[in-house]
Structures are given as structure tokens and as C-alpha cells.
Amino acid sequence: MTAYDNNNPFAKILRGEFPSYKVYEDDDVLAFLDIMPRVTGHTLVIPKAPARNILDISADEYAHVARGAHTIAAAAMKAFRADGITIQQFNEPAGGQVVFHLHMHVMPRHDGVALLPPASRKEDGKVLEQNAAKLIAALRA
């Protein structure tokens, strides 16, 4: 397996070198909106620990990511009046991974609305700001 790359985009977000629409943070994880969302409210949950994917993280550290995804999923159901939630996590190129810092996708879903193709469009910043505010409010409720 390839070594962790400290210059991947999510590592740069963690260091504040790339901007993001943060919605949740604790000692172990950071959650922020995907700038190329497949649905409204598409959020990524990443560990603060440097981990390429599930094969490169301890079970205890991975549990923090899973708990973060659980927290975001509950808030997203409320914030976006979702009918369901899709959680995805990919590992290595053959498994569909594109950014090589462990991350979980949390996507609020609505009946009859298909996911957009991956990386098919970049969302407007104002829309992302509004969606982040909705999610942050639901997390505080």
C-alpha cells in the first residue's frame, strides 16, 4: 500500500491551507461540505489523524470517524428534511477512492431523487454557506 501523502487536499484543509465549509469539529474528526456535492447537504467526515484509508487507521481511530458520520447523519436528516441517508467510504483506487485521506460521505436522500455523478459539478459558494448554516443549526438543536 502507498504511504500517506501529507499534501493531499484533506490534509491541507486540516492545516488551514485550503478553505472548507466546516460544519462540525471535535478533537478527532472534522466534517465539512463537499464542494462537488452529489446531493444537497453532502458532507465529508475525516479523521484528524493522518490515515490514507480504512486499511491505514486503528479501529479506535476509525470509530471516531464513524461516530462523526453518525452525528452528521442525524443532523442532516433534520436540516434537509431527508427521507434517508447514504453513507459511503471507499478504499484504494480499485475500491473507488479518489482522495487519499480517509473520509466518509454522508448524503441526505429524498425519495425519487437520484445522486448526481461524482465530481460532476462544483456548487456555488453561497449555496454551500446556506447549507452549512442549516446543518450547523441542526447540530446545535
Active site residues per annotation: 103
Q: Is 114 exposed, middle or buried (0-12, 13-18, 19+ CB in 10 A)?
A: exposed
| Residue 47 host element (H or E) | strand 43-47
Residues near 98 by beta carbon (within 8 Å), at least 6 away in sequence: 90, 118, 119
Give the position of cell 502507498: 2
> For residues 23 and 134, is the Cβ–Cβ distance under 8 A?
no
